[in-house]
């Protein structure tokens, strides 16, 4: 069986200077520390898929991702640790030449990469396409991009075990919204849950999230898509400076795609008085630090 996670997540309070006593507490749940490669939320999302693949006597996992995808690396590592092979369907033929550090890491973890055109990649949810893939890559269990889907949500419910009672606000970065959905399902309804979406116009993910929530929970969480910095994967000097300043104050590394944008948003909300004075805020560090490889020379950590 898998030897992941290697380390237990823990809660780290932020330096009070960072939030200037505007609320009672701001802390971070460090899911990034559980494993050097399968960091953050990806392990929780994958665990039931790995189990299902093993129960189906599959040879491996086949999944989808871009050239910087945390999900692809996490799948490669988790599959290897579980004695399964892995195939990554990679978006864009150009990715074969550019070979990002992410893709090199996937190869090092024995993942077979298959580069497809953007048009083919867009068929990633088509049942017909899955049939074609199943015929071509026999014995592989297909997992959706980002580990989305019911088993991913179920796996994310586990994260709530590390959230003690007493927190009033949970903040989590959301791409597919799978992680947020699991946390929302598992926590008491009185707790506020907010998703910070790093895509332009990202609030559209609500309809995907609600597919996995009972109707009475459809409006039980908030989505913010103001802090996308130009769109998914985009960054500017201000964001990088924020990441460096955050590290200097709190000794916590953030990733540029997800958690930096969330913390930037939380900081602006704190300054604007969005949270009540008695708020106890827990932000989820969902990992993804390997995605910083392209800005390594600009970071102090
Ligand atoms: C994948 C990822 C997310 C998004 O998780 P979803 O479950 O798709 O919403 C957030 N943060 C990091 C660091 C990630 O790698």
Write down the pTM of the prediction. 0.96
CA of 215 to the centre of ligand 1 (A): 24
User: Of the given ranges (24-33, 35-44, 81-90), which has the lowest mean pLDDT?
Assistant: 35-44
Average pLDDT in the 139-149 region? 97
> Which region holds residue 179: left if phi is over 0, alpha if psi is between -120 and 50, else beta?
alpha
Instruction: Give me the pLDDT at residue 3, please.
Output: 64
More confident residue, 242 or 98: 242
- The yes-or-no verdict on residue 196 having pLDDT over 50 is yes
**Ligand 1 pocket, residues with Cβ under 6 angstroms:** 40-42, 70-71, 146, 173-180, 255, 258-259, 286-288
Q: What integer is the mean pLDDT of 149-177?
A: 98
| β-bridge partners, 29 | 11, 284
* Ligand 1 atom with the shortest distance to the CA of 70: 15
> What is the rounded average pLDDT for all residues in the chain?
96
Decide: 169 and 137 in contact? Cβ < 8 Å: no
Q: What are phi and psi of 281, to 5 degrees?
A: -105, 130
Q: What is the pLDDT of residue 220?
A: 98
Nearest atom, ligand 1, residue 289 CA? 13
Say how many Å lie between the CA of residue 1 and the centre of ligand 1: 24
pLDDT of residue 1 exceeding 70, the answer is no
The C-alpha atoms of residue 161 and residue 82 are separated, in whole angstroms, by: 23
What does the pLDDT average to over 195-207?
97
Distance CA 64, CA 71 (A): 8
pLDDT at residue 98 is higher than 90:
no
Rg of the chain's alpha carbons, rounded to an integer? 19
**Residue % of the chain over a pLDDT of 90:** 93
What band does 70 get if pLDDT is binned at 50, 70 and 90? very high
Ligand 1 centre and the CA of 65: distance in Å? 13
- Helix (H, G, I), strand (E, B), or coil: what is residue 188? coil
Two tokens, residue 208: 């995907």
Chain centroid, CA 31 distance in Å: 10
Instruction: For CA atoms 14, 17, 19, 21, give the dihedral sign.
Output: positive
* Per-residue pLDDT tens over the stretch 249-278: 999 999 999 999 999 999 999 999 999 999
Report d(CA 299, CA 245) in Å as an integer. 10
Separation CA 102–CA 262 (nearest Å): 22
């Amino acid at each position: 069986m898998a030897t992941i996670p290697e380390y237990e997540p823990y809660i780290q309070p932020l330096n009070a200077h960072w939030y200037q006593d505007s609320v009672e507490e701001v802390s971070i749940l460090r899911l990034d520390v559980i494993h050097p490669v399968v960091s953050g939320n990806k392990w929780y999302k994958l665990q039931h898929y790995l189990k299902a693949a093993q129960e189906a006597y599959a040879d491996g996992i086949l999944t989808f991702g871009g050239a910087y995808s945390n999900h692809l690396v996490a799948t490669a590592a988790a599959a290897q640790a579980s004695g399964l092979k892995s195939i990554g369907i990679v978006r864009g033929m150009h990715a074969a030449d550019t070979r990002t550090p992410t893709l090199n890491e996937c190869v090092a973890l024995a993942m077979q990469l298959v580069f497809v055109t953007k048009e083919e990649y867009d068929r990633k949810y088509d049942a017909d396409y899955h049939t074609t893939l199943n015929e071509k890559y026999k014995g592989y269990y297909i997992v959706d991009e980002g580990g989305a889907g019911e088993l991913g949500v179920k796996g994310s419910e586990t994260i709530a075990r590390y959230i003690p009672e007493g927190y009033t606000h949970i903040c989590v970065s959301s791409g597919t919204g799978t992680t947020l959905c699991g946390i929302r399902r598992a926590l008491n309804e009185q707790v506020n849950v907010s998703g910070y979406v790093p895509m332009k116009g990202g609030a559209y993910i609500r309809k995907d999230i609600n597919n996995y929530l009972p109707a009475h929970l459809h409006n039980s969480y908030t989505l913010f898509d103001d802090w996308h910095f130009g769109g998914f994967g985009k960054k500017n000097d201000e964001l990088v400076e924020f990441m460096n300043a955050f590290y200097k104050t709190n000794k916590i590394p953030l990733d540029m795609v997800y958690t930096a944008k969330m913390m930037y948003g939380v900081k602006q909300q704190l300054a604007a008085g969005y949270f009540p004075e008695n708020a106890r805020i827990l932000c989820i560090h969902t990992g993804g630090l390997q995605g910083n490889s392209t800005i390594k020379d600009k970071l102090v950590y």
